[in-house]
Structure 1
């Protein structure tokens, strides 16, 4: 036994909790959590002392907690408590080993992105406009959804050769300076056609931004979020919608219709296919392969 350590697992845990309380000024809530997780360790050790616990056993204990239904975050918290206990034994009392070092908790499931259904998006974007700024806002929201843009990508768009409305596409710069060409659907092109004459009456001299404020300067991200909140309050039926949700909706709807994960990855500008795979929880309808066939607001009118 390391010098100064009381005999027995429970006694050492009590001494460690006293150390946290007196030296680290841990709160009662923290101490309660640590006590629960350390008691789990005592039960899993099955009568063995802490000096006998190995890294392989700790890994097995964590696996048993996870298999028993404990959430990944709770397993991670237990491992953190165990790591702190064994670190205390090593640093404060000269114990030879911290068997928890280097053990990673199970990965928590990635939360699925929230998106709107096609009908909900249609109802939102087809809502009537009341003034010039509404015309601008509709064009922004249509473009976010039509092309799966990030908000920063939308606001970086200029009225220049990178925005080719005749071809129905735009070149955008995404994360890490990576450029990609995105399609612009029919509804977004119509909304832009309505906005551009109004932009010409507002834009400040030498301002290249596609979307500008009432004073003619480039919009900020906060302004777009605020305008979308206002739009949803008027037309969205109480559902909270943020700009990235329109991007998620774009990805979900195109993937639902086409099942073409690689195409969606390219349109979203994801560096890794794993980032796009989060959308594969959907039931694919396998209706089409390309954007013009898949995107609900890109289809040609008959």
Structure 2
């Protein structure tokens, strides 16, 4: 079967991505994943000389099988299928295809892994490391300023459960253009989360103190007119990769056994809050989860914590060796 001309298909895919960007307002990371998945779809169709608007379910099953042969994991395949399915649905609404060949396809089941959270003592050690001696910063003159900044970052990530994108998107002041900001007087952080949904979370005393310490010296780094709350040594907005790097350095300085990434602090925030309060709905609201099923994974972490306490403390928890008959 000869392939259809590429230009209309390319335009159809571009229109779908524009729809996701403008109308669905998907995050940049998600858009990039969808674009990669659709490029893979085009490559598979071109290899088999199949016109995408004419593709049938057996074509799609073959292409998914190839992805598995290449070693693509269940989650990656699920994202790929979501992008393919969304494209054909969009084309269906535009009356460009008669049916959706992806509709009945399901990705392979992925083993469910629980989010990794720090024990409370390790989370406290990380906060103390941020407040104490910082890792080598290269320019020793900047070290105290960077220490204040990094301490504020870890306090907000753990104390507010912020995503990395929400943290680096914070501006110094509230404005119509600001993705997020902190109202210190009201002890509230206003952030822009997934799906461009805004939410407000309380900021604790320790985080507010760390914020005050950072704001007192931020001017030594920030370029004139820079709106970002957190800036690099160059004086411009701190990137997510820079935060990850600093956090890993802090975790080493704190002597933690595992490298800590920003989302681990979000998991720790949720797990520790649930352990203390037992209020799943409140944790859902603070995390900004649209579906409570997403938050329920932390109940499993909570049960693991309770099981460890039981094993360590209850006299009937551990089997005792049988007495040798006399």
Give the TM-score taking structure 1 as reference length. Answer: 0.58
CA distance in structure 2 between the aligned counterparts of 1:192 and 1:179, rounded to whole angstroms: 21
Q: How far is 1:225 from its partner? A: 0.7
Equivalence map 1:13-24=2 (5 Å): none
Alignment of 1:106-185 (within 5 A): 107-127=109-129, 128-130=132-134, 131-161=144-174, 162-185=181-204
Q: CA deviation at 1:105?
A: 8.0
Residue pairs, 1:270-289, within 5 angstroms:
270-281=289-300, 282-283=302-303
Choose from 207, 212, 215 the match for 1:193.
Answer: 212
1:271 and 1:165 map into 2 onto residues whose CA distance is 27
Q: How does 1:83-122 map to 2 (within 5 A)?
A: 107-122=109-124
Deviation digits for residues 31-55 of structure 1 (CA, Å, limit 9, x no counterpart): xxxxxxxxxxxxxxxxxxxxxxxxx
Matches of 2:121 and 2:292 in 1, distance apart? 28
- How far does residue 214 in structure 1 lie from its aligned partner after superposition? 1.3
For the pair 1:259 / 2:278, whether they are aligned, the reply is yes
The answer for unaligned runs of 5 or more in structure 2 is 1-64, 75-102, 135-143, 175-180, 307-326
Asked whether 1:207 is paired with 2:209, we answer no
> Which of these two proteins has the greater Rg computed from alpha carbons?
1
Whether contact under 8 Å (2:152, 2:210) holds in the other structure is yes
1:213-292 correspondence runs (5 A): 213-281=232-300, 282-283=302-303
Which is worse superposed, 143-152 or 228-237? 228-237
1:175-234 per-residue CA deviation (whole Å, 9 max, x = no partner) reads: 110000011111111111111111022211111111001121000111111111111121
3-state DSSP of counterpart to 1:192:
helix
When structure 1 is superposed on structure 2, of 129-138 and 223-232 the one drifting more is: 129-138
Q: CA deviation at 1:247?
A: 0.2
Contact 1:129/1:135 (<8 A) preserved: no
Contact (CA 8 Å) 2:122, 2:256: kept in 1 or not? no
Query: What is the CA distance between 1:237 and its match in structure 2?
Result: 2.8
After superposition, the Cα gap between the structure-2 partners of 1:129 and 1:190, relative to the gap in structure 1 and judged at 3 Å, is farther
The change in CA–CA distance for 1:223 and 1:105 in structure 2 (over 3 A counts) is closer
Deviations 1:79-107 (A, max 9, x none): xxxxxxxxxxxxxxxxxxxxxx9586884
| In structure 1, distance between residues paired with 2:253 and 2:108 | 43
CA 1:107–1:171 in 2, change beyond 3 Å: closer, same or farther?
same
How big is the alpha-carbon RMSD for the aligned residues of Structure 1 and Structure 2? Answer: 2.5
Describe the SS at the equivalent of 1:172.
Answer: strand
Query: d(CA) in 1 for partners of 2:128 and 2:245?
Result: 19
Q: Secondary structure at the match of 2:296?
A: helix
2:273, 2:237 → 1: CA distance? 30
Contact 1:270 1:276 in 2 (8 A): yes
**Residue range with higher mean Cα deviation, 188-197 or 245-254:** 188-197
How far did residue 134 of structure 1 move?
1.5
